[in-house]
Amino acid sequence: MKYNEIKELPTEELEEKLGLERENLQKMRVNHAISPIENPKSMTATRKNIARLLTELKKRESATS
Tell me the pLDDT tens digit for each residue of 21-56: 999 999 999 999 999 989 999 999 999 999 999 999
Q: How far apart are the C-alpha atoms of 52 and 44, rounded to whole Å?
A: 12
Q: What is the pLDDT of residue 64?
A: 84
pLDDT higher than 90, residue 65 = no
pLDDT higher than 90, residue 8 = yes
Q: What is the pLDDT of residue 1?
A: 81
Q: How far apart are the C-alpha atoms of 31 and 15, rounded to whole Å?
A: 24
Structural domains of the chain sorted by starting position, each given as residue range(s) with its CATH number in brackets = 3-64 (1.10.287)
pTM above threshold 0.95: no
